[in-house]
Amino acid sequence: MIHKYQFKDQYIVMDINSGAIHVVTDIIFDMLDYYKEKSIKEILELLKNKYTKNQILEAAEEIQYLIDNGMLFTDDSQITMDMLEGRGAIIKAMCLHVAHDCNMTCKYCFGGQGAFKGQRSLLSVETGKKAIDFLLEHSGSRRNLEIDFFGGEPLMNFEVVKELVAYGREAEKPFGKNIRFTITTNGLLLDDSKTDYINANMDNVILSIDGRPEVNDNMRRTVNGKGTYDIIIDKYLDFVEKRKRTYYVRGTFTRENLDFSEDVRHLAERGFKNISIEPVVTDVSCSYALQD
């Protein structure tokens, strides 16, 4: 089963059983209405006034590739078997807290500057591997899985991140799964080697920055109290220029920058294409908390 919907100029398709979500072209979006019931010859006839023959045939190849790789029109039978065999809860995504520590002291940090009001520590390779095994063993018939490397600041434990990606790539094979990896970073430790590795191995990347220099540096500071905008902005621009895959720059707005549309504008003018600015979540007693 699939669900299709359009948001502005984006065409989105969700495969319910696999959990896969695809942003597709308009022609694929249209063809999916007929693909399971009609032959290619019939589809060519139905859509001949809207698309060329070559466009339709190329789109058909893309659709078939997704089907063959278990990402579209996946079989309902395995989902039914999962329920009949009493396999319990099925999980398809996991957030690995690889660094219970951070190299920044953001005012609004819900994690107590990375330590979550506890002892600062880093995830071990052994624990990370057990977590990946757990995900694979409890994913049921879900073929496409997700692991998000989070913190604190994940780049503080980057060697473990790399080992776990390599382990996941091997461990997924016997299960016939595909793990999508994501990492969230504040950018302070980004360098050329990390940029190259992340761009080659991470399906999605979240780059944290709040917008204009004065807005970012008001909330996002180093452990020495320095603003971080000038430290990270060129690293981010270099990263995005090299990246050929999905990314987001992600910021937080507070009571102190209710004109956050200007932060979106600033980031767009700097060259970022995928921007998300979200409201702060904090106690209402905080001076920067949003008010009704």
DSSP secondary structure string, 208-262? Answer: E--SSHHHHHHH-BBTTS-B-HHHHHHHHHHHHHH--S--EEEEEE-GGGTTTHH
Q: Tell me: do 261 and 173 sit in the same domain.
A: yes
Q: How confident is the model at residue 135 (pLDDT cuts 50, 70, 90)?
A: very high
Q: Per-residue pLDDT averaged across 44-69, rounded?
A: 91
- Flag whether pLDDT at 76 surpasses 70: no
Q: What percent of the chain has pLDDT over 90?
A: 70
- Flag whether pLDDT at 142 surpasses 90: no
CA 219 to CA 175: how far, in whole Å? Answer: 44
Count Cβ atoms within 10 A of the Cβ of residue 204 and give its class: 0-12 exposed, 13-18 middle, 19 or more buried.
middle
Position 88 in a domain: no
Position 155 in a domain: yes
- Flag whether pLDDT at 230 surpasses 90: yes
Q: Which domain, by its residues, includes 151?
A: 93-279
Q: Tell me: do 178 and 226 sit in the same domain.
A: yes
3-state DSSP call for residue 202? coil
Q: How confident is the model at residue 52 (pLDDT cuts 50, 70, 90)?
A: very high
The closest alpha carbon to 208, from 240, 249, 155, 263, belongs to 249
Position 82 in a domain: no
CA 290 to CA 220: how far, in whole Å? Answer: 18
Q: Tell me: do 26 and 153 sit in the same domain.
A: no
Q: Tell me: do 44 and 145 sit in the same domain.
A: no
- Number of structural domains (the chain) is 2
Q: Tell me: do 151 and 268 sit in the same domain.
A: yes
Q: Residue 264 sits in a domain of what CATH number?
A: 3.20.20.70
Position 288 in a domain: no
Tell me the per-residue pLDDT of 234-247, one tens digit each, with 9 for 90 and over: 999 999 999 988 89
Tell me, what DSSP letter sits at residue 120? Answer: -
Position 287 in a domain: no
Predicted TM-score of the model (pTM): 0.73
Position 131 in a domain: yes
The closest alpha carbon to 236, from 280, 198, 289, belongs to 198
Tell me the per-residue pLDDT of 161-217, one tens digit each, with 9 for 90 and over: 999 999 999 999 999 999 999 999 999 999 999 999 999 999 999 999 999 999 999
Q: Tell me: do 19 and 103 sit in the same domain.
A: no
Position 84 in a domain: no
Q: Tokens 């319990």 belong to which residue?
A: 88
pLDDT value of residue 224: 94
CA 163 to CA 177: how far, in whole Å? Answer: 18
The mean pLDDT of the chain is 90
Q: Tell me: do 11 and 59 sit in the same domain.
A: yes
Q: Tell me: do 140 and 43 sit in the same domain.
A: no
pLDDT value of residue 8: 79
Q: Tell me: do 16 and 117 sit in the same domain.
A: no
Q: Tell me: do 101 and 233 sit in the same domain.
A: yes
CA 164 to CA 105: how far, in whole Å? Answer: 27
pLDDT value of residue 222: 96
Q: Tell me: do 126 and 7 sit in the same domain.
A: no
Q: Tell me: do 252 and 167 sit in the same domain.
A: yes
Position 292 in a domain: no
Q: Per-residue pLDDT averaged across 146-172, rounded?
A: 97
Tell me the per-residue pLDDT of 114-127, one tens digit each, with 9 for 90 and over: 556 678 889 999 99
pLDDT value of residue 78: 54
Contact residues for 28 (Cβ-Cβ < 8 A; gap 6+) = 11, 13, 59, 62, 63
Burial profile 105-132: b = 16 or more Cβ within 10 angstroms, e = fewer: bbbbbebebbebeeeeebbeeeebeebb
Q: Are 123 and 98 in contact (CB under 8 A)?
A: yes
